[in-house]
Amino acid sequence: MAPMLAPELRFAPRELATADENAAAIAGLTEGLDNAWIIMCAALVFLMQAGFAMLSAGSVRSKNVSNILLKNVMDACAGAIGFWSFGYAFAYGDATPNAMIGDKYFFLSDWPADGHDPKFFFFQFAFAATAATIVSGAMAERTEYVAYILYSFFLTAFVYPVVVHWGWSGSGWLSAFNSHSDKLFDVGIVDFAGCCVVHMVGGVAALWGAIIVGPRMGRFVPNAEGVMVVSPMPGHSIPLATLGTFLLWFGWYGFNPGSTLAISPAGYGVTAGMAAVNTTLAAAAGAFSSLYLSWGLTAAAGDGVWDLSMALNGSLAGLVSITSGCATMDPWASVIAGIIGGFVYYGASNLMKKMLIDDPLDAVAVHLFCGMWGAIAAGLFSSEERMADVYGSTKHGLFMGGDASLFGCAIVGILAVFGWVTALMAPFFLACKSAGILRVSAEDEKEGLDLSHHGGGAYNLDEKAQV
């Protein structure tokens, strides 16, 4: 590049005339535009960390607020270090074509080369941190910080990157972008922004974490007949939870549209716009379906409650549900995906309670179950035209007149991710448990983690400050 000029001179118009001069200018513009787009999208995805943090903080009891916030802050940090050191290399450093795992660019050593440029790492890091942070909610209010940070590093440095390699890279056996061999069912998985690759990875880890660490003390108690029932443990601040949800929704506009990974080639801009529209409609539809379903059921039982947390989690359910298909589905199909996503969330949340698995944030219901549904939805509803445009494939959704290839890829992807993450994370959490570093002591849990582990409560409200 030419050295930078003084700031106030840095915008002088460039004189162009010949085709060669134009071509040089176009090269600069292309690099600039793609970088600007991805940096901004990645920044929005990064802000989802703040969204998760606020949602989590608001959803736990006030005695465990600093604890969950620390975990959220530090998994962003562990994600950065973990993905820089090993994760990126495992995900995208394919020295050996068609290997199951990448094997160069550790510590970004030979970097940047080709498409492996900084913006791409930045965007991918933000995704890794998102996958990691999903777990914090499911294990909230009883998990040791030390186990959590180990988990966070392990996931972002190894577990998640391998799935990325499979699902997205040019060497992935599941990937629709595999350029080394035949694609799975002649198409590969349509997982545009990562229902399988991101949400299910976090969701499966969250499931095993929640099971293995066990429910919070007093969460499930026997009633008079000896049947275990759920004891409500409402979060301490609805405004924080709402803020967090809005920040997540906002960040999703980086997550889904940004998954074009470039915007200068013809058609990419419209694809990104389509992703934004589908993201919006699915979120809205999901919020309506959970809220009205829960209202209807409470109304049927006598007294209808408009439960804000249903609207919040419903919108997140809708957002997850469209994360695979946002680039290849039509708006009407996104509305359907969102509506069903709201039902899936509601059902899964109750199923978890039935199974006596304690997930304080419903992270498993939102990210695992709706992640599965979202991957399937893309297999059912991806349109012929959009599949041709985005993936250059004649395959399309089962409900759109296509054959079962896309649906099949979704099912294989779901099973593979479930299996892989289970195979690594269940033993990991069990090992932490055996080592006695997974769960805080009963006294500490009763007292609250903030006082017992973090030097004090999260709030210090002076009586006098309240008139």
Considering only residues 9 through 38, tell me which ones interact with a second copy, judged by CB under 8 A.
Answer: 9-14, 16-38
Which of 155, 163, 281, 409 is in the footprint of a second copy by CB under 8 A?
Answer: 281
Give the integer Cα–Cα distance in Å for 166 and 163: 5
- Shortest distance, position 166 Cβ to a second copy, whole Å: 12
SS3 113: strand
Instruction: Write the CB contacts of 446 (distance below 8 Å, at least 6 apart in sequence).
Output: 217
Please name which of 364, 324, 325 lies closest in space to residue 345, comparing C-alpha atoms.
364
- Shortest distance, position 427 Cβ to a second copy, whole Å: 26
- Shortest distance, position 94 Cβ to a second copy, whole Å: 8
Site for a second copy in 216-245 (CB under 8 A): 234-240, 242-243, 245
| Residue 116 backbone dihedrals phi, psi, to 5 degrees | -80, 65
- Shortest distance, position 426 Cβ to a second copy, whole Å: 26
Residue span binding a second copy (CB under 8 A) among the ranges 206-214, 259-267, 364-372, 434-442: 259-267
Site for a second copy in 129-188 (CB under 8 A): 145, 168-170, 175, 177-179
Site for a second copy in 72-111 (CB under 8 A): 72-74, 76-81, 84, 92, 94, 107-108, 111
**Nearest CB to a second copy, comparing residues 147 and 424:** 147
Q: Any contact of residue 44 with a second copy (CB under 8 A)? A: yes
Q: Which two tokens stand for residue 283?
A: 């979120």
**Nearest CB to a second copy, comparing residues 183 and 199:** 183
**Nearest CB to a second copy, comparing residues 153 and 208:** 153
Site for a second copy in 295-324 (CB under 8 A): 305-308, 311-312, 315
Give the integer Cα–Cα distance in Å for 106 and 129: 18
- Shortest distance, position 213 Cβ to a second copy, whole Å: 18
Q: Any contact of residue 332 with a second copy (CB under 8 A)? A: yes
**Nearest CB to a second copy, comparing residues 225 and 443:** 443
Which of 106, 150, 185, 269 is in the footprint of a second copy by CB under 8 A?
Answer: 269
Instruction: Write the CB contacts of 463 (distance below 8 Å, at least 6 apart in sequence).
Output: none
| Residue 143 backbone dihedrals phi, psi, to 5 degrees | -100, 140
**Nearest CB to a second copy, comparing residues 76 and 138:** 76
- Shortest distance, position 145 Cβ to a second copy, whole Å: 5
Site for a second copy in 355-414 (CB under 8 A): 389-393
Give whole-number Cα distances, 101 to 130, 161, 172, 188, in Å.
21, 8, 8, 17
**Nearest CB to a second copy, comparing residues 33 and 426:** 33
SS3 395: coil
Which of 194, 202, 257, 360 is in the footprint of a second copy by CB under 8 A?
Answer: 257
Amino acid residing at 384: E
| Residue 229 backbone dihedrals phi, psi, to 5 degrees | -125, 160
Find out whether 45 and 255 touch, Cβ atoms under 8 Å: yes
**Nearest CB to a second copy, comparing residues 17 and 300:** 17
- Shortest distance, position 286 Cβ to a second copy, whole Å: 9
Which of 276, 404, 411, 431 is in the footprint of a second copy by CB under 8 A?
Answer: 276
| Residue 439 backbone dihedrals phi, psi, to 5 degrees | -125, 145
**Nearest CB to a second copy, comparing residues 73 and 230:** 73
Which of 86, 90, 120, 381 is in the footprint of a second copy by CB under 8 A?
Answer: 120
Compute how many residues bind a second copy; rule: CB under 8 A.
167
Which of 99, 116, 431, 437 is in the footprint of a second copy by CB under 8 A?
Answer: 116
| Residue 189 backbone dihedrals phi, psi, to 5 degrees | -75, 135
Please name which of 167, 193, 186, 177 lies closest in space to residue 395, comparing C-alpha atoms.
186
Tokens 């068609």 belong to residue = 98
- Shortest distance, position 29 Cβ to a second copy, whole Å: 5
Give the integer Cα–Cα distance in Å for 302 and 317: 27
First to last CA, the chain: 61
Amino acid residing at 123: F
User: From the CB of residue 269, how many other CB atoms can be counted at a distance below 10 Å?
Assistant: 16
**Nearest CB to a second copy, comparing residues 307 and 403:** 307
| Residue 230 backbone dihedrals phi, psi, to 5 degrees | -80, 130
Which of 97, 118, 218, 419 is in the footprint of a second copy by CB under 8 A?
Answer: 118
- Shortest distance, position 366 Cβ to a second copy, whole Å: 16
User: From the CB of residue 316, how many other CB atoms can be counted at a distance below 10 Å?
Assistant: 31
* DSSP category for residue 236: S
188: left (phi over 0), alpha (psi -120 to 50) or beta: left
Q: Any contact of residue 264 with a second copy (CB under 8 A)? A: yes
Give the integer Cα–Cα distance in Å for 312 and 316: 6
**Nearest CB to a second copy, comparing residues 49 and 405:** 49
